[in-house]
Structure 1
Amino acid sequence: LDLVDNLRSLNPWWRGQPGPPLPTFRRWPFARLQHLLGHGMTPASVLRGPRRVGKTVLLRQLIESLIAEAVNPQRILYIAFDELPTLRDLDEPVLAIARWYEREVLATTFNTAAHEGRPAFLFFDEVQNLEAWAPQIKSLVDNHAVRVLVTGSSSLRIEAGRDSLAGRISTLDLGPLLLREIAELRFGHSVAPFWADNGLDAVTHAEFWRSAVERSREDREIRGRAYAAFSERGAYPVAQERPDRPWPEVADYLNETVIKRAIQHDLRMGARGVRRDEKLLEEVFRLCCRYAGQTPGASVFVPEIQQALGGNVGWNRILNYLRFLDGTLLVRLIPPLELRLKRRKSPSKVSL
Structure 2
Amino acid sequence: MNMNKLDPILEKNLRNANPWWQSTALPPIFPFKRWAFAPTLKRLKNGMTPVVALRGPRQVGKSTIAQQIIQQLLMSGVPNNHILHILFEDLPHFTALQQPILDISYWFEQYILGKTFNTVAYEGQKVYLFFDELQNIPHWAPQLKYLVDLNAVRVMITGSSALQIEIGQDSLAGRLSTIEMGTLFLREIAALRGFGDIPSFLPNNGFSQLKQQYFWQELRNFGLQHQKIRQTTFAAFSERGAYPIAHLYAETPWEEMADQLNETIIRRVIQHDSRMGEKHRDEQLLEEVFRLSCRYIGQTPQITLFIDEIKRILNAQIDWQKTLNYLNFLASTLLLRLIEPLELRLKRRTAKLCLC
Pairwise same-fold verdict (TM > 0.5): yes
Could you tell me how far apart the structure 2 residues matched to 1:343 and 1:168 are?
Answer: 36
Match of 2:161 among 130, 147, 154: 154
Distance of aligned partners of 1:305 and 1:196 in 2 relative to their CA distance in 1, 3 Å threshold? same
Asked if residue 349 in structure 1 is aligned to residue 352 in structure 2, the reply is: yes
- Partner amino acid for 2:340? P
Aligned to 1:277: 282
Are the aligned partners of 2:289 and 2:323 in contact in 1 as well (CA < 8 Å)? Answer: yes
Greater shift in the superposed pair: 13-22 or 237-246: 13-22
Q: Is the partner of 2:52 in helix, strand or coil?
A: strand
Aligned to 1:288: 293
Q: Is the partner of 1:82 in helix, strand or coil?
A: helix
Aligned to 1:315: 320
Shift of 1:190: 2.5
Match of 1:329 among 310, 334, 339: 334
Aligned to 1:164: 171
Aligned to 2:116: 109
Could you tell me how far apart the structure 2 residues matched to 1:336 and 1:27 are?
Answer: 30
Are the aligned partners of 2:195 and 2:232 in contact in 1 as well (CA < 8 Å)? Answer: no
- Partner amino acid for 2:183? P
Could you tell me how far apart the structure 2 residues matched to 1:40 and 1:66 are?
Answer: 15
Greater shift in the superposed pair: 181-190 or 286-295: 181-190
Aligned to 1:245: 252
Asked if residue 83 in structure 1 is aligned to residue 90 in structure 2, the reply is: yes
Are the aligned partners of 2:186 and 2:230 in contact in 1 as well (CA < 8 Å)? Answer: yes
Q: Is the partner of 1:86 in helix, strand or coil?
A: helix
Structure 2, unpaired ranges of 5+: 1-7
Could you tell me how far apart the structure 2 residues matched to 1:11 and 1:230 are?
Answer: 36
Alignment of 1:131-142 (within 5 A): 131-142=138-149
Could you tell me how far apart the structure 2 residues matched to 1:222 and 1:314 are?
Answer: 47
1:205-246 deviation per Cα after TM superposition (whole angstroms, max 9, x unaligned): 222221111101001111111100000111000001111111
Asked if residue 39 in structure 1 is aligned to residue 42 in structure 2, the reply is: no
- Partner amino acid for 1:315? W
1:136-171 deviation per Cα after TM superposition (whole angstroms, max 9, x unaligned): 110111000100000011112222222110000001
Q: What is the RMSD computed on CA atoms of the aligned residues?
A: 1.1
Aligned to 1:204: 211
Could you tell me how far apart the structure 1 residues matched to 2:217 and 2:345 are?
Answer: 36
Shift of 1:5: 0.4
Could you tell me how far apart the structure 2 residues matched to 1:112 and 1:215 are?
Answer: 51
Shift of 1:179: 0.3
Shift of 1:188: 5.2
1:248-274 deviation per Cα after TM superposition (whole angstroms, max 9, x unaligned): 11111110110000110011112x22x
Aligned to 1:175: 182
Q: Is the partner of 1:25 in helix, strand or coil?
A: coil
Identity %: 50
Could you tell me how far apart the structure 1 residues matched to 2:134 and 2:346 are?
Answer: 42
Shift of 1:80: 0.5
Aligned to 2:3: none
Aligned to 1:9: 16
Could you tell me how far apart the structure 2 residues matched to 1:328 and 1:143 are?
Answer: 31
Could you tell me how far apart the structure 2 residues matched to 1:17 and 1:295 are?
Answer: 53
Shift of 1:342: 4.4
Asked if residue 259 in structure 1 is aligned to residue 266 in structure 2, the reply is: yes
The count of residues paired between Structure 1 and Structure 2 equals 348
Could you tell me how far apart the structure 1 residues matched to 2:346 and 2:159 are?
Answer: 37
1:270-310 deviation per Cα after TM superposition (whole angstroms, max 9, x unaligned): 2x22x111110000000011011101131210110010001
Could you tell me how far apart the structure 1 residues matched to 2:24 and 2:54 are?
Answer: 26
